[in-house]
Amino acid sequence: DAGITQSPRYKITETGRQVTLMCHQTWSHSYMFWYRQDLGHGLRLIYYSAAADITDKGEVPDGYVVSRSKTENFPLTLESATRSQTSVYFCASSGAGTGIYTFGSGTRLTVV
Amino acid sequence: AQKVTQAQTEISVVEKEDVTLDCVYETRDTTYYLFWYKQPPSGELVFLIRRNSFDEQNEISGRYSWNFQKSTSSFNFTITASQVVDSAVYFCALSNAGNNRKLIWGLGTSLAVNP
């Protein structure tokens, strides 16, 4: 399927568990981003990547790890989930030169 | 520092009313881009428009129009003859022309259009 796909759509995990959110895009966009969306905070950037093997921290990187071994994939890992990481997570991609983001459908993560 | 302010947290209108969503931005860059995104109740974020800092012409797309004024650092969004399907959260965003292409987001305005 063409586009940007996030999985899973919903996830419930326990405190302390490791969980990985997947993001896959089919456009070969160079830029990819992970955001979390919480009431009152809008969209906050966790990590972003300008190309394969190039990643950088955003506003709220603590507790998260990313990798980008292939252009099309940008997984986000919560190494030891905490209740404060309960949120909706959005992945986005952007082609070089456009600045226009295309978003995935989001992953609603609940940490209990 | 770059910043985007959407002062209206929530707006409620009756169908067919016109409504304007305000967006004020701050940047020291001379070249930058401004965006509007829509997030309907289903949750996905949808791109609406991008405007670069050198183009101050107003944009109209159907019932949607955008007014960019550098003098007041504003990029306001107007919906004419609003419809229930326009109910959503609308985000304004700003990016510089650098390589990282990171967007600076406003906190969003929640628009409720009531029948």
| Closest by Cβ to B100, choosing from A40, A50, A106 | A50
Chain A CB within 8 Å of residue B3 CB: no
Angle, CA of B56, A48 and A24, to the nearest 5°: 105
Report chain A residues whose CB lies below 8 A from the CB of B49. none
Per-residue model confidence as pLDDT tens digits over A23-82 = 999 988 999 999 999 988 889 999 999 999 999 999 999 999 999 999 999 999 999 999
φ/ψ of B41, rounded to 5, equals -55, -25
Chain A CB within 8 Å of residue B60 CB: no
CA of A36 to nearest chain B CA: how many angstroms apart? Answer: 12
pLDDT at position A5? 95
pLDDT at position B99? 56
pLDDT at position A2? 63
φ/ψ of B7, rounded to 5, equals -70, -25
Helical residues (DSSP H) of B1-115, grouped into ranges: none
Report chain A residues whose CB lies below 8 A from the CB of B46. 103
pLDDT at position A1? 55
pLDDT at position A95? 82
The pLDDT of residue B101 is above 90: no
The pLDDT of residue A97 is above 70: no
Angle, CA of B43, B24 and A62, to the nearest 5°: 55
| Closest by Cβ to B101, choosing from A58, A99, A106 | A99
The pLDDT of residue B29 is above 70: yes
